[in-house]
Amino acid sequence: MTIQELLGCVQEEGGRWKVTSRERTNLEFKEQGDDNALRKCLKTIAGFANGRGGSIIFGVSDRPRYVVGIEEFLDEADVQNLLLTSLYPIPDFEIIEHDIGSHRVCELKVFSHSKKPIIAIKDVQTKGAKNKTVLSQGVVYARRAGQTKPISGEEFGRLMELRDNNTRNSVLSVLSRANEIGFDNVAVADFRKYGRSDENVTLWVPEASAKELNIIDRAKLVEEKGAPAYQIRGQIKLTVPSDKDPRKPLLPRKAARVLKEPIQKGFGSWFPWTDQHLRKAAVHLGFWDDPKGDGKNTGFEEMSERPLYYEAGRAAIQRFANRNPDDFVEVVGSKETQKKWEAVKAAHAENTP
């Protein structure tokens, strides 16, 4: 669907684009794109993430509704920081700029979250002489027919039911996969308790398999609601495919961290770089044309159904940044990042004899 189709744009005499679409469960409009406008959208972002996702379009006037565009575009880092300090878990989003006639609008696309509910973790006010509370701590928001309101008891119960179903399906999927490869060959990793999710874990290994590990002296034998198994804490990862895989797969956050130093070495420490930027570069290069990756540059961890970045893909993204820096910034950078990059190049040119 094009942006014109999403907005229901109709061009009137004189060239103005009238918006015929109404705000609905997955669509909202804002005229401004400044910090206060973003703060006012926090409820909506939470509501979209708690539902099936949706888009907020900045640059559309209200009553009458026309495409007016905005001059200042949302900065991805600013959006990420605001969500990080306001909502938990952090909603996933994407910022997309669109041209409609002579105007440019900004779409903040929010994805349905897999670990609902999203909850407000602090009160948030607008800035200025007349501060207004736009987010209330402890409230879960839902989207209904173009409005965002605190969730009802019935809606909350439904969210928890869906979450339980997702957990149940995930467990059944793991058990099904374990049945295929044999339960005696299965290791279960608990990523919840020790450090960040892609680093310190607890690994539960069958006794027969544990005897073959060369780190067994760092483990202890435990028996908890079942047969004895080894509990290992520390820098352990679920290695059944990764350690033996010559493609050297990494999860998105780890892959982004590995690339962060060489990327910022080329652009400067100011250059924003996260797993979301990594994803944009990979999508641009065609590595995710297949949702499960292309098998060479990207892939999919079957057991946990998480995306992977192989060494070849990481190297290709780094080459893209080194050889075509302007194109790279255009692909992964926000409007603000692109402006700063142009300023950095201009300053470098002035200082170069």
Beta bridge partner(s), residue 24: 27
How far is 75 from 93, CA to CA, in rounded Å?
A: 12
- Identify the three-state secondary structure at position 104: strand
Task: Specify the pLDDT at position 192.
Answer: 55
Contact indicator for 201, 189 with CB cutoff of 8 Å: yes
Please give the helix or strand (H or E) that residue 300 lies within, else none.
strand 298-301
Along the chain (353 residues), what's the average pLDDT of each consecutive run of 10 residues?
A: 88 89 93 92 95 94 92 84 93 91 92 90 89 93 89 84 81 79 72 50 65 52 58 48 72 93 92 92 90 88 79 93 92 90 89 75
What secondary structure letter does DSSP report for 98?
Answer: E
How far is 225 from 203, CA to CA, in rounded Å?
A: 16
How far is 331 from 353, CA to CA, in rounded Å?
A: 30
What is the chain's length?
353
Pairing state of beta strands 188-190 and 201-206?
Answer: antiparallel
The pair of three-digit structure tokens given for residue 78, joined into one six-digit string? 């600013």
Dihedral angle sign, alpha carbons of residues 48, 331, 273, 299: positive
The pair of three-digit structure tokens given for residue 181, joined into one six-digit string? 């490869």
Q: CA of 230: how far to CAs of 129, 211, 213, in Å?
A: 61, 9, 11
Q: Count the helices and strands in the chain (H runs, E runs).
A: 12, 18
User: Residue 154, CB half-sphere, CA atoms under 13 Å: how many?
Assistant: 0
The pair of three-digit structure tokens given for residue 69, joined into one six-digit string? 């565009």
Residues with Cβ within 8 Å of residue 118, at least 6 apart in sequence: 46, 49, 50, 87, 88, 89, 91, 140, 141
Task: Specify the pLDDT at position 139.
Answer: 94
Task: Specify the pLDDT at position 83.
Answer: 94
Single-letter amino acid code for the residue at 317: I
How far is 201 from 186, CA to CA, in rounded Å?
A: 16
- Identify the three-state secondary structure at position 296: coil
Task: Specify the pLDDT at position 238.
Answer: 43
How far is 325 from 268, CA to CA, in rounded Å?
A: 12
The pair of three-digit structure tokens given for residue 33, joined into one six-digit string? 């794109």
Contact indicator for 144, 28 with CB cutoff of 8 Å: no
How far is 42 from 61, CA to CA, in rounded Å?
A: 19
Q: CA of 24: how far to CAs of 2, 7, 62, 146, 162, in Å?
A: 17, 11, 14, 4, 22
Q: How many other β-carbons are positioned within 10 Å of the β-carbon of residue 76? A: 23
Task: Specify the pLDDT at position 267.
Answer: 93
Ranges of H-type helices in the chain: 3-7, 35-40, 42-50, 76-86, 153-181, 207-210, 239-242, 252-267, 275-284, 311-323, 325-332, 335-351
Full strand arrangement of the beta sheet holding 220-222: 188-190, 201-206, 229-234, 220-222
